[in-house]
Amino acid sequence: MKHLFVLVFLFLAVALNASEKEKHPHIIFIITDQQRADALGCMGNAAVISPNIDKLSDLGVTFVNAYSSVPSCTPARAGLLTGLSPWHHGMLGYGRVARKYKYEMPRMLREAGYYTFGIGKMHWFPQKALHGFHGTLVDESGRVEQDGFVSDYRDWFKLQAPGKDPDKTGIGWNEHSAGVYQLDEKLHPTYWTGQTAVEIIENYKKDKPLFLKVSFARPHSPYDPPQRFLDLYEDVQIPVPYLGDWDEQYEGLEGGKEAAFGDFGIDHAIESRRHYYASITFIDEMVGKIIQTLKEKGIYENTLICFTSDHGDMLGDHYHWRKTYAYEGSSNIPFIVKWPESLEGKLAPGSRLEQVTELRDFLPTFLDAAGADISEDMDGLSILELIKDPQTAWRDYIDLEHATTYSEENYWCALTDGTWKYIWFFRTGKEQLFNLKTDPGEQNDMSSTNLEVTETWRQKMVDHLSERGDGFVKGGKLVQRSETLLYSPNYPNDERTPNELINDWRIEYKGVIEN
């Protein structure tokens, strides 16, 4: 009888374990703001201290050719939300995320049986829009884009530090200078975002899988780490900005503290980068706390964890600052996926794949993990297919673009397969071609020296833009444009008046943006 009891117990234990594995995994989606792909130790940058994110890379897969198709905050987040390409979700540059889309990540996961919650920066409009989340606690970096809005972080700050100034450091959202956070580090938005995520995981008791989006507002400027993290970089050799054979027009260019283009000297760029890296180390520490909480909760093994960013930061490369550019510092992003134990595949942990991925791929990946259908007209692809079989068919290249920002010339579309990058500037008709394998800093423009490859990619661009009509391609040739198109015809109708839409375009065109 004793042996029979043991056998029954073992059978039940195996059955319960199998049942647990059959459950759809929890999904923890961690996204930073304005973090370039090479700003991680696991991406080969020995200067960056990021042990917890590096560990995710060691246990999962890192996509080294990952991109943000429209590399500024709101259009990047529209692609992330919808799983669509820029032309199909409708935002071709920095504008306003629509109130409702055909596909929306939180709503679709909620419909698939998940409890959905978002923390941190959403950058949606209205600013407390849910798009299907059961709830959000937001940090909008002090932005007030509707009457009466106060972010959850700002209200929490008032509770913790009545009368104190959350912006005491005195550096604006888009400044490229740096400074040390002037308050207790536990008042910093990075701490608030990470700690709030920890508390939700600790308190989670629902009998359904959790989808948790954790959206840090850093390392986007202000570059303002607490002193403790900056001290770690005191003796670190910081990489200097890339300069090339095509950027001399910007050399010696002066500008203000929010300049998009400017030559402020190597020392200035290094200090900005030092503070930027320290901000990432702060985020990394909070990521570690989130992972430890998942383990203590007993759900780590059955959790899909993804880490990415909405776009990068040029940090002085080619005398460019901030984002909205086709270049790697602006458009190449981190893309790390640690899969749950229940997912069986051929990919070994710690793998690095070169297939080109983009923010649009996260929604179909999450739907795949949830056992939900992925619509055929969704542009994104499920990463889980590559984990199951890294030889599975994949896209040949990805499209990038941005409507006019900062200067009239900065209106472009690009294509890349992770080896070649071809850039077409709509207004000037200028082309650039870079070999990213031999020239990762895009220092040598090959468009006039490798004519055969340039022509091949020019034809790919013709094919890509043809669906947009004669304003982009005519007679099989690329068309120079005199006007910017910020919203494609696929942008969902919302409640804005024509004058409001025009005003949004004017803000973008002049480059007077706070993203």
Sign of the Cα pseudo-torsion (122, 127, 130, 133, in order)? positive
For residues 75, 77, 78 and 84, what is the CA-based torsion angle, rounded to 10 degrees? 100
- Kindly name the residue from 26, 88, 89, 123 that is annotated as catalytic: 123
Question: Looking at 73, 89, 188, 220, which residue is catalytic?
Answer: 73
Q: Encode 502-513: b = buried (16+ Cβ within 10 Å), e = exposed.
A: eebbebbbebeb
Q: Are 214 and 194 in contact (CB under 8 A)?
A: yes
Distance (Å, whole) CA 305 – CA 349 = 13
* 73 is known as an active-site residue: yes
Question: CA-to-CA distance for 223 and 180, rounded, in angstroms?
Answer: 8
Residue 418 to residue 438: CA distance in whole angstroms: 11
Residue 153 is classified by DSSP as: H
Cβ atoms within 10 Å of 18's Cβ, excluding its own:
10
For the chain, the distance separating the N- and C-terminal CA atoms, rounded to the nearest angstrom, is: 70
Count Cβ atoms within 10 A of the Cβ of residue 452 and give its class: 0-12 exposed, 13-18 middle, 19 or more buried.
exposed
Task: Name which of 227, 230, 231, 156 is nearest 189 in CA terms.
Answer: 156
What lies within 8 Å, CB to CB, of 141 at 6+ separation is 121, 173, 189, 217, 220
Name every residue whose Cβ is closer than 8 Å to that of residue 270 and which is 6 or more positions away in sequence.
238, 240
Q: Is 413 an active-site residue?
A: no
323 with 77: CB under 8 angstroms?
no
d(C-alpha 221, C-alpha 218), whole Å: 7
Q: Give the whole-angstrom CA distance, residue 77 versus residue 75.
A: 5
CA angle 340, 341, 343 (to 5 degrees): 75
Tell me the two tokens of residue 337: 């996926």
Task: Judge whether 145 and 125 are in contact, CB under 8 Å.
Answer: yes
CB-side exposure of 140: number of CA atoms within 13 Å? 23
Could you list the active site residues?
73, 123
